């Protein structure tokens, strides 16, 4: 990989990290799409995306928690079953044409709802989710996270928002923590892939840290909740396109 390509990929990843971390996400789906555009070896893409996801989500988790924007009870409910499921999913290889188009279409449908009347959606009454719902949902999302090589945040965020389980800003705190633990489990489930991490990873990591610092600064206190929902909608559009077209 030549220097120009490395710099270009790093800049794009930094911008993606800024956008995704604004809503508590790690950016794995964007990193995968960027690497696909530049024809990075397939065996390198998945562990690289998870490693960068881990960095961004870890930083985001800490910053949202420090700002008091993390519902720990909700996070633990989802993570309890998601982590073992992500570990299992990380070691499963399924032909992508089986699940990618359906999941991508569902993400687009969720994005449309977030773009439609975001102010009203941001003001909805919070309805706490029960453990009987959260535990199986967490398992399903963890499995999807492991299968797709992401932290699962693109699936959890719209569910929390659309079902009114938490508000927009605190959803970001929950999702950042969820992505962090799932990324660890996903890498552990396919530990052999760590040997495929590229030598250029430190450059990419530095870029996403800078992006995440900017994104979390915006997400924690600068952007109003309706804009956060629209930002999440944009993230879902990108993630859905990546699943469907790459």
Per-residue pLDDT of 153-188, as tens digits, reads: 888 999 999 899 999 899 999 999 988 987 787 777
Q: Label residue 128 left, alpha or beta by phi (over 0 means left) and psi (-120 to 50 means alpha).
A: beta
Residues of the chain predicted below pLDDT 70: 149, 189-194
Cα separation, 217 vs 28, in Å, equals 20
pLDDT given at position 206: 97
Integer Cα distance of 110 and 79 in angstroms: 22
In contact, 70 and 223? CB cutoff 8 Å: no
Q: What whole-number distance in Å separates Cα of residue 67 and Cα of residue 64?
A: 5
pTM given for the model: 0.85
For the chain, what is the radius of gyration of the CA atoms?
A: 16
The structural domains of the chain, with segments of one domain joined by +, span: 3-245
pLDDT of residue 101: 85
Three-state DSSP class for residue 164: coil
3-class DSSP assignment, residue 194 = helix
């Amino acid at each position: 990989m030549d220097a120009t390509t490395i710099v270009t990929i790093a800049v794009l990843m930094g911008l993606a990290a800024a956008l995704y971390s604004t809503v508590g996400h790690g950016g794995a789906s964007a990193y995968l799409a960027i690497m696909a555009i530049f024809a990075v070896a397939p065996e390198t893409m998945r562990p690289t995306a998870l490693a960068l996801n881990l960095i961004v989500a870890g930083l985001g988790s800490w910053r949202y928690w420090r700002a008091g924007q993390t519902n720990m009870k909700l996070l633990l409910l989802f993570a309890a079953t998601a982590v073992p499921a992500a570990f299992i999913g990380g070691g499963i290889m399924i032909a992508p044409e089986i699940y990618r188009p359906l999941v991508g279409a569902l993400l687009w449908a969720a994005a449309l709802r977030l773009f439609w009347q975001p102010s009203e959606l941001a003001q909805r009454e919070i309805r706490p989710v029960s453990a009987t719902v959260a535990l199986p949902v967490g398992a399903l999302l963890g499995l999807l996270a492991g299968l797709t090589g992401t932290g699962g945040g693109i699936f959890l965020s719209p569910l929390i928002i659309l079902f009114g389980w938490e508000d927009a800003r605190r959803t970001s705190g929950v999702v950042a923590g969820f992505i962090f633990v799932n990324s660890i489990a996903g890498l552990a489930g396919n530990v052999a892939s760590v040997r495929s991490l590229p030598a250029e990873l430190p450059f990419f990591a530095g870029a996403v840290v800078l992006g995440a610092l900017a994104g979390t600064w915006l997400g924690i206190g600068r952007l109003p909740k309706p804009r956060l929902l629209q930002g999440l909608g944009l993230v879902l559009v990108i993630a859905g396109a990546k699943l469907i077209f790459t």
